[in-house]
Structure 1
C-alpha cells in the first residue's frame, strides 16, 4: 500500500502563516496537519503502508523536505519527495508521484483532516472518502445506487443530486490503471478550466469498469483559512485528549491549565490561565496571560495577553491585549498595537 499526498499549493487563504510555512506543516495539537492526515489514513488501513510520497512545490526547501521524510519514517514507511513545477490540476499533481502509482494507492489532498470508524476494504476497486453535508452545492458530491455503489460524480450541483461530499481522499486498488488514465489525459491535453482534473479521470475509470464505493467519515475538518484551522484544532484536541499532551520539560508556575491543552518542549508558563483548546509550541514563554482556543507555535514570548481564537506563528513577541489574532512568523507586537 502506498500513499500519495499532493500538497504543492500556496495556501493563500491562510496567510500570513503560509508565507513562511507550507499550509500542511502548520501545527495542529503539536503535529503538522499532514502528519495527522497520514497518521489517520494509516489507522484505517489493515495492510502495511510501505511508501508515502509528498508532492510539493520546487521552492519548499530542504528543511521542509526533511520534515516530511521524517513524518513517513515515524509512521513506519519510506518517504519520497516529488515536485510539481506548475499548478496544472489535481490529476497532474498525482501524476508527479508516478513511481508510487504501481499498486494499491491512497491519494490524500493535504488541506483536510478526518475521523473515521471504518477499516479500508482494500479488496474493492476504489473507495472515495465522503461526508454528509447540509449544503452540497458548495462541493463535489457522489451519487449512489441501491447497492451503495457510486454511479456518478457531480461538481457543485445546482440542483440536489446527493448530500455526500467528496473530502479529497481516494483509494485505488489498481494504481497502474489510475496512472495510465492520467497519462492519457495529459498526453491528449484534455483540460477542464485550464487544468488536468481528477474528476474526469474518475469518470473514465468508472466507464471502463472500475467500481467506486463510499467511505463515510464521522468528521471532516477543514484547514483552509485561519478561522477554520482554529476550529479544526479545537475539535482535534478533543479527539486526542486521552493522549499525554504536556511535555515533561515544560514548567508551570502559579498557572492554571484547563484541558485539553498541548504544551511542547521547554515551555515556561507563569502567572497565567491557559485553556481550553490551546497548543503552545516548543521554547515558548508565557506570562501574566489568559489564552484559550488558540494555536501558539514555537519560540514565542507572550506577556500580558488576553488571546482567544488566535493563531501566532514562530518567533513572535507579543505584549499587550487582544481577543482575536492571526500573526505570522518573526513579528513583534507591543501594547496590543
Structure 2
C-alpha cells in the first residue's frame, strides 16, 4: 500500500499567515501539522508516499526532504492548480500504479492515527473506505447518506441542503478501482474533480464503499479557530520536560515543556505550555494552552490559548488570547483589554488603549 498526501492548498482561510507560509507547516504544539500525518502513515507501516504540492512548494520540500526523518520515501507530485481531490489522484496515477493507497489531506489532524483503519482495509479490501464524523455544519464538507443498514448510498460535496450530518474526514482508502471512477467523472459546478463524485460513481457501478465512524479526535485545521483547538488538544497530552533554564523566581504549573536553550526568567507559566528552543520568556505570564516556537522573545507580556511561531517578539503586550502570531512578527506594547490577533510573518502591531 502507498500513501497520497495532499499538501498543495493555498490556505485562504488562514490568511494573512499563509501568504508567506504553507498552511500544512503551521505548527501544532511546535510541530507542523503535516508532520503528524506523515508520522501516522509511517506508523501504519506504509513507506512509499506521494506528496501532492503546488508549483511553489519550496518550503514544504525543505521541511519534509526525502522523508527519511519519518522513515518514508517521499516522491513530490506537482498539481499545477487546485482542481479537486480527484484531480490529485489523476496527477498521481503513474506513482500509484496498481497499488492500494490511502489518501490523506495534509491539513487534517487525526489524534488516534490511521493504523487500525489501514489494517482493516488491508484485511477486508473494499473498493473504497471513507471516514465519517458528525458535524454541526455539514454544508462545509463532503456529506454521506447511509441507508437503514448503514451502507453508503449517496455522497455530495458541500451540499446546500445536506441529507445527513455525516461529514467525510480527510482520510480515504482506495483500491485501483478508483482510477476508473476518476477517469469517468467531469468537473463539478465548482470547476473541480470531486472525490465525492468518484465515490458516487463507484457506488452507482456496484462497487463497495465502506464507511467507518471515527471515534477519536479529528479536525480540519483550515482556519485559525480550529488550529487553536487542535493545539489545545495536543498540548493536553503533554508531559512536563525542562531541558532549558528556569530561574528560581519563576513558577511552572502543570505540564510545561522548556526546550534546550530556552530561558524562563521571573515568569509564571501555567501548563499545558510548550516553549521552543532558544526562546526567552521574561517577566511574563504564559498559558494555559499556548505553544511558543523557537527563538522567540516574550517580555513583560501575558498570553494564553495561542500559537506563536518562531522568531516572533512580544514585548509589553497583553493580555493576549486566542492569537496566531507568525514568524518574525512583533507585538508591542500592551492595551488593558484582551486582544485576539492573527498576524502574518514579519508583521508589526503596536497596541494602544
The answer to whether the superposition gives a TM-score over 0.5 is yes
Match of 2:26 in 1: 26
Which structure 2 residues correspond to residues 22-171 of structure 1 after superposition, within 5 A?
22-43=22-43, 45=44, 48-61=45-58, 63-69=59-65, 72-98=67-93, 99-116=95-112, 119-120=116-117, 121-122=120-121, 123=123, 124-125=125-126, 126-157=128-159, 161-171=163-173
Q: Work out the CA distance in 1 between the residues paired with 2:9 and 2:29.
A: 22
SS in 2 for 1:152: strand
Match of 2:286 in 1: 274
SS in 2 for 1:162: coil
Contact preservation (8 Å) 2:280, 2:297: yes
Deviation per residue, 1:217-253 (Å, 9 max, x gap): 2322132222332222222322x32375431321111
User: Structure 2 regions of 5+ residues with no counterpart?
Assistant: 242-256
The structure showing larger relative contact order (alpha-carbon pairs under 8 Å, at least 6 residues apart) is 1
CA positional deviation for 1:270: 1.0
Match of 1:224 in 2: 222
**Does 2:230 correspond to 1:214?**
no
Deviation per residue, 1:97-126 (Å, 9 max, x gap): 221253121112223222348711122312
Which structure 2 residues correspond to residues 241-260 of structure 1 after superposition, within 5 A?
241-242=238-239, 244=241, 245-260=257-272
The 1:158/1:17 distance shift into structure 2, 3 A limit, reads closer
Deviation per residue, 1:277-327 (Å, 9 max, x gap): 111111111111111011100112211111211011111222212521111
Aligned residues: 325
Match of 2:193 in 1: 196
Q: Work out the CA distance in 2 between the residues paired with 1:282 and 1:67.
A: 15
The 1:89/1:100 distance shift into structure 2, 3 A limit, reads same
CA positional deviation for 1:42: 4.5
Contact preservation (8 Å) 1:11, 1:224: yes
Q: Tell me the TM-score normalized by structure 1.
A: 0.88
Q: Tell me the TM-score normalized by structure 2.
A: 0.84
Which structure 2 residues correspond to residues 172-187 of structure 1 after superposition, within 5 A?
172=174, 174=175, 176-185=176-185
Contact preservation (8 Å) 1:69, 1:80: no
Match of 1:287 in 2: 299
Considering only aligned residues, what root-mean-square deviation do their CA atoms show, in Å? 2.3
Contact preservation (8 Å) 2:5, 2:49: yes
The 1:317/1:136 distance shift into structure 2, 3 A limit, reads closer
1:237 pairs with one of 235, 238, 245: 235
Deviation per residue, 1:65-114 (Å, 9 max, x gap): 121236x3332111111111122222112222221253121112223222
User: Structure 1 regions of 5+ residues with no counterpart?
Assistant: none
CA positional deviation for 1:202: 0.9
Match of 1:311 in 2: 324
